[in-house]
Chain A
Amino acid sequence: MLYAGGTRLPPTKLRIKNITKNFETKSNKLHVLDSISLDVKEKEFLTIIGPSGCGKTTLIRIIAGLETPTSGRIILDETEIHKPSKKIGYVPQEYSLFPWKNTKENIRFGLKLQGVKKADAEKKIEELLDLIGLSEFREYYPKNISGGMKQKIAIARALAIDQTLLLLDEPLISIDAQNRNKLQDDILKIWKKSERTIVFITHNIDEAVYLSDRIIILSPLPATVKEIIPITLERPRNRTSPQFNHIRKEILNYMNFD
């Protein structure tokens, strides 16, 4: 199979195989994910989109090893994931920075746990601060910086340990529209420069089309893979171009579940 532009298809990074998840309470059984299968390619930007409460977060938490699936397997680089792994970075929706640590200390946290030497850690932190463009805020505490900055620092913290797969769970959900566009460009830049594979969750169609190589549309509960849409538009993408709008419309139609 040929990839856009005629190059060979890159190898598979992550395999999601028949993931099913039920949440059981005493009186209730909630069927959240129904045998979801998909492959994520090396260095791909893959976005999972679906209506609110469709189990997107549950799926990403299962990939991160934070939640156990009822059945099915997650395979990263040929090894199965059962628990959180240093190979997988995870950025939740919001409020994930440690408020008692400043920017540098937050980024350093993972490095410290890995026992990275102080000088090496410092170098890495400076590189990451440079990458996210927040070098001047290295001593700031989370309470003194904006929501967008916090999310970029959370991404840098995840990137600090050398994982190759980055999971972003609606990282821009609480950012206003104007800053959101700017942060989307920042995320693309970070993705390109850091050469990571990204699995991104959103319910914002515009965001998904702007960012992704492929979009996975989930159905309402119990979630199944409803549609897979590859996007071959060249970057930087024009949000108002006819092609862009065409894809948006297509996704909107797929997401019209009633």
Chain B
Amino acid sequence: MNKKKINHVVISIITLLFFILIWQIIAGLNLSSVIPTPLEVLKAFIDFSIEGDNFGYNFIDHISASLLRVILGFYFAFIITVPLGLFMGLSKKIESVFNPLIEIFRPIPPFAWIPFALVFFGLGLISQSFIIFIGAFFPILTNTLKGVQETSKIHIDVAKTLGASRSDTIVHVILPSTLPSILVGTRIGLGVGWMCVIAAELVGLNTPVGLGYLIQYSAQFGNFGLSFSAMLLTGLIGFGINFIIKLIENYALRWRDTIATN
């Protein structure tokens, strides 16, 4: 680690400590029983880690239930949008066929689909994953499309003069130069998917498990310490997902002259 990096880490830690201090002061004012102190949150976290809930689920169960929903929804979004984005980028005709649909559906918040999903898919995994599917769909699609469209004209021309057919050009030029955008879309799509899962779990559950469920359920029973610790966990996991994709990005795209920073 170089000096700049160490400074960055030190500042981050100071910020977090300062945040906890302010939090302690506000919670200590006892304005409302809704705000737990940092210690209460930590205690609730430890208690829950040991005992779990009434159904016998612990944090790992809640986290993995949420992750499964995200991965499922994201997976289907990815395998549909990447080819769709590629085809749309390669053909103006295909683009004009799908563009009106995309422009209409994109501004609809994923949560607006919840009632539809519940009626159509019923309670359970498919409904929740569907919301994530919708949330991840558009970031991956638009980024893939943008990547194809931004492929350097010069690279395509040079490939042609070296004897590349249309399919050679797609495989050897357009795909590799679109990869960075696909990975950016993946990172944003997973981030949106993770936000969606928490909301999707507030409704439409058939099993009492998931971080979103835990946040709501524990608050309903007045255990705000647990609710807050589940929230913080949600933030940490979202951060972790982003971090991992960034590592993959920086490794797979080490030929780039810029690196992914946020």
Extra contacts, 4 of them, besides A90-B157, A109-B159, A143-B257 (Cβ < 8 A), are A66-B161, A83-B160, A95-B154, A154-B158
Is A230 on the interface with B (CB-CB < 8 A)?
no
Which residue on chain B has the smallest CB distance to residue A98? B155
With A and B bound together, what is the CA distance between A72 and B161 in angstroms? 21
Name the 7 nearest CB pairs between A and B, nearest first. Answer: A110-B162, A90-B161, A143-B257, A84-B160, A84-B161, A141-B255, A113-B163
User: Do B160 and A92 have beta carbons less than 8 Å apart?
Assistant: no
Is B256 on the interface with A (CB-CB < 8 A)?
yes
Which residue on chain A has the smallest CB distance to residue B254? A141
Give the total of B residues in contact with A, Cβ under 8 Å: 22
Given the known inter-chain contacts A98-B173, A109-B172, A113-B164, please indicate yes or no for A92 contacting B257, CB distance below 8 A: no
Is B168 on the interface with A (CB-CB < 8 A)?
yes
Is A89 on the interface with B (CB-CB < 8 A)?
yes
Given the known inter-chain contacts A98-B173, A143-B256, A143-B257, please indicate yes or no for A66 contacting B163, CB distance below 8 A: no
- Which of A92, A95, A109, A141 is close to B162, meaning CB atoms less than 8 Å apart? A109
Given the known inter-chain contacts A113-B164, A113-B168, please indicate yes or no for A96 contacting B256, CB distance below 8 A: no
Is B177 on the interface with A (CB-CB < 8 A)?
yes
With A and B bound together, what is the CA distance between A86 and B161 in angstroms? 6
Give the total of A residues in contact with B, Cβ under 8 Å: 30
- Which of B154, B173, B177 is close to A92, meaning CB atoms less than 8 Å apart? B154
- Which of B158, B179, B255 is close to A96, meaning CB atoms less than 8 Å apart? B158
- Nearest CB of chain A from residue B183's CB, rounded to whole Å: 13
With A and B bound together, what is the CA distance between A114 and B163 in angstroms? 7
Is B99 on the interface with A (CB-CB < 8 A)?
no
When distances are taken between beta carbons in the complex, the residues of chain A under 8 Å from B207 are none
With A and B bound together, what is the CA distance between A187 and B29 in angstroms? 78
When distances are taken between beta carbons in the complex, the residues of chain B under 8 Å from A65 are 161
Is B38 on the interface with A (CB-CB < 8 A)?
no
- Which of B158, B159, B163, B179 is close to A86, meaning CB atoms less than 8 Å apart? B163
Is B176 on the interface with A (CB-CB < 8 A)?
yes
Within 8 A of B (CB), among A173-206: none
With A and B bound together, what is the CA distance between A114 and B177 in angstroms? 22
- Nearest CB of chain B from residue A117's CB, rounded to whole Å: 16
Within 8 A of B (CB), among A127-168: 141-143, 154, 157-158, 161
Partner-A contacts on B (CB < 8 A)? 152, 154-155, 157-164, 168, 172-173, 176-177, 179, 253-257
User: Do A157 and B162 have beta carbons less than 8 Å apart?
Assistant: yes
Given the known inter-chain contacts A66-B157, A92-B154, A92-B157, please indicate yes or no for A99 contacting B162, CB distance below 8 A: no
Which residue on chain A has the smallest CB distance to residue B258? A143
User: Do B157 and A100 have beta carbons less than 8 Å apart?
Assistant: no
When distances are taken between beta carbons in the complex, the residues of chain B under 8 Å from A172 are none
With A and B bound together, what is the CA distance between A158 and B177 in angstroms? 20
Which residue on chain B has the smallest CB distance to residue A157? B162
When distances are taken between beta carbons in the complex, the residues of chain A under 8 Å from B155 are 96, 98
When distances are taken between beta carbons in the complex, the residues of chain A under 8 Å from B168 are 113
Which residue on chain B has the smallest CB distance to residue A89? B161
When distances are taken between beta carbons in the complex, the residues of chain B under 8 Å from A86 are 162-163
When distances are taken between beta carbons in the complex, the residues of chain B under 8 Å from A64 are 157, 161
With A and B bound together, what is the CA distance between A141 and B163 in angstroms? 23
When distances are taken between beta carbons in the complex, the residues of chain B under 8 Å from A88 are 161
User: Do B173 and A161 have beta carbons less than 8 Å apart?
Assistant: no
With A and B bound together, what is the CA distance between A95 and B151 in angstroms? 12
When distances are taken between beta carbons in the complex, the residues of chain A under 8 Å from B253 are 100
With A and B bound together, what is the CA distance between A111 and B179 in angstroms? 24
- Nearest CB of chain B from residue A92's CB, rounded to whole Å: 5
Interface string of A43-58 (1 = CB under 8 A from B): 0000000000000000
Which residue on chain B has the smallest CB distance to residue A94? B154
With A and B bound together, what is the CA distance between A84 and B257 in angstroms? 30
16 contacts between A and B (CB under 8 A): A64-B157, A84-B157, A84-B161, A90-B161, A95-B152, A95-B154, A96-B158, A98-B173, A99-B256, A100-B177, A109-B159, A109-B172, A113-B172, A114-B163, A157-B158, A161-B162
When distances are taken between beta carbons in the complex, the residues of chain B under 8 Å from A89 are 161
- Nearest CB of chain A from residue B151's CB, rounded to whole Å: 11
When distances are taken between beta carbons in the complex, the residues of chain B under 8 Å from A158 are 161-162
